[in-house]
Amino acid sequence: MACSRLRKIIGVAASHHRLLWIHPFLDGNGRVARLMSHATLLEALDTGAVWSVARGLARNVATYKGHLASCDQTRRNDLDGRGNLSEEALAEFTRFFLTTCLDQVTFMEGLIQPDTLRARILLWAEEQIRLGRLPPKSGAIIEAVLYRGELPRGDAAGIVGTGDRQARRVVSGLIEHGVLVSESSRAPLQLAFPAALASRWLPGLFPDHSP
């Protein structure tokens, strides 16, 4: 299982170049290849689209295009793979591609600061409760969703330690604030990251436009 997943991740880089080499469309081949790589990594690594290799490639356009051009070359000798194209060049592009992925993970980790994300979100919830903008126990629901990833609605009452009616009130308040989302009235609750709270929850993620 782990080996299959690893092969899939490594294969993203190779398929990225090979799609561009085939050049199936009159226009937009680069965008399609980057979208394909983003989607494949999203599925293979469950990234949640928090980071994208496309951003890293865009920040290193010259190096990116240089590697792609090298991969277009025919094999240099009998030790350079078995196909028509250079396997050594493809390996170098794969190394560059995966290094770019790691760079983007590190970049987003520095912006999001996951070690203190929970504390920032719960501090915001406490402030909103004191101001009367959120029902009491809202923080308990948020913490449960943070810990589990998603929360069945039926578990809300047990978490807040009250009846179903009060639990529904807490959940409704969080949904109204855009903090929780759900695909339907019965689907599990998931944490959202509303843009209005970006400055509090994810400081530094967006540039400060203040004069």
The reply to whether 12 falls in a domain is: yes
Digit-coded pLDDT (tens) for 34-90: 999 999 999 988 887 889 999 999 999 999 999 999 999 999 888 888 888 999 999
pLDDT greater than 80 at residue 210: no
| Residue ending a domain, choose from 54, 82, 110 | 110
Question: Based on the domain organization, do 8 and 92 belong to the same domain?
Answer: yes
Q: Which domain CATH number covers 175? A: 1.10.10.10
Question: Based on the domain organization, do 123 and 168 belong to the same domain?
Answer: yes
Question: Based on the domain organization, do 54 and 131 belong to the same domain?
Answer: no
Question: Based on the domain organization, do 118 and 159 belong to the same domain?
Answer: yes
The reply to whether 211 falls in a domain is: no
Identify the band that residue 128 occupies on the pLDDT scale cut at 50, 70 and 90: very high
Question: Based on the domain organization, do 173 and 188 belong to the same domain?
Answer: yes
The reply to whether 164 falls in a domain is: yes
Tokens 């196909």 belong to residue: 83
Distance CA 150, CA 44 (A): 20
By C-alpha distance, which of 68, 74, 112 is closest to 94? Answer: 68
Sequence letter at residue 14 = A
Identify the band that residue 6 occupies on the pLDDT scale cut at 50, 70 and 90: confident
Distance CA 45, CA 37 (A): 12
Range from 61-70, 89-98, 156-165 carrying the lowest mean pLDDT:
156-165
Q: How many CB atoms lie within 10 A of CB 174?
A: 25
What's the mean per-residue pLDDT of the chain?
90
Question: Based on the domain organization, do 38 and 97 belong to the same domain?
Answer: yes
The number of folded domains in the chain is: 2
Domain range holding 180? 114-201
Rounded average pLDDT over 97-114: 91
Query: What confidence score (pLDDT) does residue 78 get?
Result: 86
